[in-house]
Amino acid sequence: MAAAGEQPGYWVSVLGEVEGLRWVLKNSRMAFTEAMSSKAGKIRKGDGLVLYVGRGAFHNPTRDESQLGGVAEVTSEVRRLGRPVEIAGREFVTVCDLRIEVVLPERAGVTVRPLVRRLQVVKRPEVWGQYFRQGLVSIPERDFLILEKAVRSRPRS
């Protein structure tokens, strides 16, 4: 939960590599590059986070679709690492801890495309993908609830 007097924020974190997704799930942490650190610094303990997996994450974008892979709650402030961590050939310098609430099987997440017309953050549904290419997207609570419900209602077998 957010600190007293603070409203929780709601975020979509974009994972472009399966290695990144696996690292997040194994470590219960989200990591950010130097370029993303300023934006990530707005994340607060208690914020909700949806894990979005880009269609290229599994290296077969003609077969795979962008999907939601899980839901988490942020359990720490974003902090700088003493030494950067390398994931899928990229360097990450800040992290926050997560409580992973729901994880869907790889390649069996919730397809994003059918949901985009319901999302306030997506102003032009015909180019919806551009809204998620930012790596970390702040979204309204209403959008978070739509995405969270879709993930929670998906069978996990």
For 51-71, the pLDDT digits (tens) are 999 887 777 777 778 899 999
pLDDT tens digits, 17-39:
889 999 999 999 999 999 999 99
Taking a C-beta distance cutoff of 8 angstroms, is the pair 20, 106 a contact? no
The H or E element that residue 79 is part of is strand 79-87
* Phi/psi-derived region of residue 117, left when phi > 0, alpha when psi is between -120 and 50, beta in every other case: alpha
Q: Does domain 10-151 have CATH number 3.10.590.10?
A: yes
Rounded to an integer, what distance in angstroms lies between the CA atom of residue 147 and that of residue 143?
A: 6
Helices (H), the chain: 18-27, 34-40, 141-152
Q: Which residues pair with 128 in a beta bridge?
A: none
The reply to whether the predicted model has a pTM over 0.95 is no
pLDDT tens digits, 76-118:
999 999 999 999 999 999 999 999 999 998 888 999 999 999 9
Show the CA angle centred on residue 135, arms to residues 17 and 4, nearest 5°.
120
